[in-house]
Every structure is written in structure tokens, then in C-alpha cells.
Amino acid sequence: MRHAVVMAGGSGTRLWPLSRGGRPKQLIDVVAGPDGGAHSLLAEAFARLETVLPADRIWVCTAARYGEQVRAALPRLRADRLVLEPVARDTANAVGLAAALVADVDPDAELAVVSADHVIRPVERFAAALTTAYDALAERPRSLVTLGVRPTTPATGFGYVRRGAPTGLPGVAEAASFREKPDRATAEAYLASGQYLWNSGMFVWRAATVLHALADHLPASAEGLARVVAVPAGPQRDAVLAEVFPTLPRISVDHAVLEPAATEPGRVLVADLDADWLDVGSWPALAQTLERVGEDAVAGLAVTLDSAGNIVFSDDPDHLVALVGLRDSVVVHTADVTMVCPVADAERVKQLLAAVEERHGSRFS
């Protein structure tokens, strides 16, 4: 059967001070809905999958410390579909753990892996692309299918995948190669060629295929995960997981699974996702989801005068943020932190948080 897992284990650093270690961005109501209200990225990701799958085949993988928040945010999530990582060991082990638990209940499972960080509109195009990827897997069961987003700009912040030979399946090609984040000139060439797609970080594969790939390329993780599912679900399995998981080698799923597979012609496929896709990994990215007030992106109570290009966010409905004559800045107000920085330095928020922690410990993180 077809299953999907939402990867929702973010650590809460890239949107600091709104997101914190105990309250990561995927659990905060920051995405505007059609009714004018707001909901979380995680809730949106779950609802998006429900257009393709029943709720009982949707899983969520997150850090153990977020478990109760995830349960509260997703009332339709089955209790036994929540995968809790005791510690962070990078994406290969998170995906491997999810695949092992899914395969334990459905050995023939086809598993989509999606992120809780994405905003994708319209949802119908996502549903069509995901269904196409599942259909491709039915035709080529050993394949690893990635969703590639049709680029609209020469973005330098994304990885790319180059289309290769056609497969005969509509909207699906072999993946010829993967490319890291390019410089501007290279990104412009990629866009002009029409051969490259943004690598969305969303995949569809058989759960067993991922586990076999880990056995080939990351045997320590494969052996550890096999120990976990060898015991019955419940407290005994939780105890083994807590013992084993911190010992697994830290590595990304791209390096552990996709890159080795890509050396075998035709093993990795790419399905086109022609939709508005936003990876909400920074304040400028989040700004694209916020209300526009003049030339500023605003959430919360704010007044701007002769200002432009700013990102203004306040999570206190009784606190007014007022700007005059300010250009291209990020202004974020929370109950205990006010953060101001140029938009051009928004990617340095993680560095700023590290400096705050060095001076004040974990009080503000």
C-alpha cells in the first residue's frame, strides 16, 4: 500500500527568535489560510497528504521532545503513526527509522517522504505529482523517485536535478545527475537550458528499497534499525531505540542513499512538480507567505511609514511595532526577544543565536 511520512524534526534556529528549541517553526501558526486565519506548516503538510492518502497511512517523524506538541497539532494522526527520534542523527537515520517502522506493519509499503517546511500551492498539482511518482514506482519497483520542482528563477539556494532519458511515463524522466547549490551564472544557465529542476527533497520509494540501500552503504545504521524493529512495539522497542539510535553514524539521506543509487543508470527517477513551491527556511522565505502592507511583509500589529522591503513579525497582539524610514530590514518581536537585522543578513540568524547562547546560555533559545 501507499504510505507517506512527514519529516518534522527541525531544531528551531533558522526563524529565531520566533522559533525556539522547544517550539520549532513547523509547529507555529505562521501560514495564512484561505479563511484569513493561520495554521502551522506541519498541519498544512498533513492536510496536503490527505488529498492523496487516508490519514491512517500518514506518518510523522519528529524529535521526541516535540511528540506531545505534534499530537496536539494533528488530531487526525494515529497514535502509532508518530515516529519519535530520541536524538538527531541526520536524515538518513530519520528516514531509515520511518521506513523500518512502516515496513514492520506493511512489508510491501510504497513510502513518500515529504517535509514539514514546505508551502505548495495549488495543492491539486502536488497531489497529481505525488500520484505520478507512486505510479512510476509501480512500474519500476526498485526505483527511487524524487519530485523536481520546475524552476521559475535562477535560484542559488536550492540543489538541482538534471533530467535524463525519458521513461515513457508522463511527467517522469530518469535523473541524470544532482547538483549542489550553484552560483548565479550557473543557475541562470540551468534555468535557460530547461533541463534542470529544483531538488525539492521529497521522495517516493519502497520502504524495503531504502532499507536495502542502507544495508549496502550504511550497514551500521541498517543493523541498528533492524535491532529496533526486532522487538515488539511498545516500551521494549522504545528502550532499544533509545539505546541504539544515538550510536548511529550521522549522515544525510542524499549522501547515504541517493548519490550511490544515482551511479546506476535509470535507478533514480524525477517526477515534475509544476507548482508554487516554497521551502520556508529563512525569514525572507517566510515573508512570501505574509500579508503585504504597502511594500512591507507584515504579521501582527504593525504600522510603517515611508518604509519598504521590510519583514515585520510580532506574536503579541497587544504590542505595536512601528517603523519609520526603514528599508530592507527584518524586525521580529516576541515576548522576550526583539531581533533586528538587514534582510541581506537574514541567513546569519543561526550565528546570532550562537552568540546569544554564548553570552546568555539557553535562556533565549
Residues 33 and 140 grouped into a single domain: yes
pLDDT tens for 193-225 read 999 999 999 999 999 999 999 999 999 999 999
CATH number at residue 56: 3.90.550.10
Q: Does 333 have pLDDT greater than 90?
A: yes
Which of 242, 263, 279 lies at the terminal end of a domain, its last residue?
279
In a domain, 312, yes or no: yes
For the CA atoms of 316, 319, 323, 324, what is the dihedral angle to 10 degrees? Answer: 170
pLDDT tens for 134-175 read 999 999 999 999 999 999 999 888 899 999 999 999 999 999
How far is C-alpha 364 from the geometric centre of its chain's CA atoms?
A: 24
Residues 187 and 297 grouped into a single domain: no
Total-model pTM:
0.90
In a domain, 365, yes or no: no
Residues 64 and 84 grouped into a single domain: yes
In a domain, 265, yes or no: yes
Q: Write phi, then psi, for 305 (nearest 5 degrees).
A: -135, 125
Enclosing domain of residue 138: 2-279
In a domain, 342, yes or no: yes
Residues 275 and 287 grouped into a single domain: no
Residues 267 and 310 grouped into a single domain: no
Total domain count for the chain?
Answer: 2
Residues 316 and 220 grouped into a single domain: no
Which of 255, 279, 303 lies at the terminal end of a domain, its last residue?
279
Residues 97 and 187 grouped into a single domain: yes
Residues 325 and 267 grouped into a single domain: no
Helices 235-244 and 219-229 pack at an angle, to 10 degrees, of 160
**DSSP state, 252?**
-
